[in-house]
Amino acid sequence: MEPWPPADDDRLTAELVEALWEDGGVPEEYVTAARAAFAWRTVGAELALAELTFDSACDKELVGLTRSSGSERTLAFRAGPVLMEIEVSTDGIVGQLSPSGGGRVSARTASGTYDEAPVDAVGLFSLGVPPPGPIQLCAQVGGYAVATDWVSLR
């Protein structure tokens, strides 16, 4: 048996190439995640990041002040003048954007968009049940484009 690593650079390169490709390449979920990460490399130039300002899962003493008793969780995000409030239930996500006036909201996972919906004239929108794992909401409303922090809603 030869010592490892080989003293010859060409032999070492050949062994590394063989090791990388002997199992048929990179698993598809890794490729998908890498493409999603690469696609977001310029997100700062296009979107303002809306940070989480309220989460009913963390702020238990303020939960009684929320408007709806049917939600499992209420969250609020802010980016400059844009405020996004959402309520998550077993039926999905309902939310409101301010400023209102129409627009579009999309919800994405690491593997891509799972749902999108129009924002009505008063800022209301509705999305399907979020899949397991972190999601990010992206909104275009009133001339603003914002994206929330990544959050796990379950």
- Could you read off the pLDDT tens digit of each residue along the chain, which spans 154 residues? 567 677 788 888 888 888 777 666 778 888 888 777 766 655 555 678 899 999 988 866 655 554 555 558 999 999 989 999 999 999 999 999 998 888 899 999 988 899 999 999 999 999 999 998 899 999 988 788 999 988 988 7
List the domain boundaries for the chain: 9-39, 47-152
Residues 6+ apart with CB under 8 A from 90: 72, 129
What is the CATH class of 47-152?
Answer: mainly beta
Cα–Cα distances in Å, from 99 out to 2, 16, 81, 127, 148?
A: 69, 55, 8, 19, 16
Record the pTM: 0.66
Strands 82-89 and 92-98: antiparallel
pLDDT at residue 36, as a whole number: 75
pLDDT at residue 14, as a whole number: 85
pLDDT at residue 124, as a whole number: 95
